[in-house]
Amino acid sequence: MGALKINSKSIDHYFGYLLNLDNRSKKQLIIKLTKSIDENEPSNSGFDKLFGAWKDDRTAEEIIKDIRDSRTPNQ
């Protein structure tokens, strides 16, 4: 899965919000961030499933026909 990259200006922006957290919340955030970069821990987000090519055995014409046939009248 590809990682989201943000620039340092965005990081500074988010850090401004985090400075207002209490120490306990900051520690919990540090722990979660540390675990998120551990290579041995699998990701549960499922975000990586949103990427990839469309896989279908139908032709483009068949897909278009199926879409048109599945339309319902809007009342």
Mean pLDDT by 10 residues, the chain (75 residues): 76 88 92 80 62 82 92 80
Residue carrying structure tokens 């979660």: 32
Residue 57 covered by a domain: no
Q: Supply the pLDDT for residue 74.
A: 78
**What's the CA angle centered on 17, arms 22 and 6, to 5 degrees?**
130
Q: Supply the pLDDT for residue 23.
A: 93
pTM value?
Answer: 0.42
33 is in which domain, residue-wise? 7-39
Q: Supply the pLDDT for residue 27.
A: 93
What is the count of structural domains for the chain?
1
Residue 1 covered by a domain: no
Residue 69 covered by a domain: no
What is the Cα–Cα distance from 36 to 17, expressed in whole angstroms?
Answer: 20
Q: Supply the pLDDT for residue 58.
A: 92
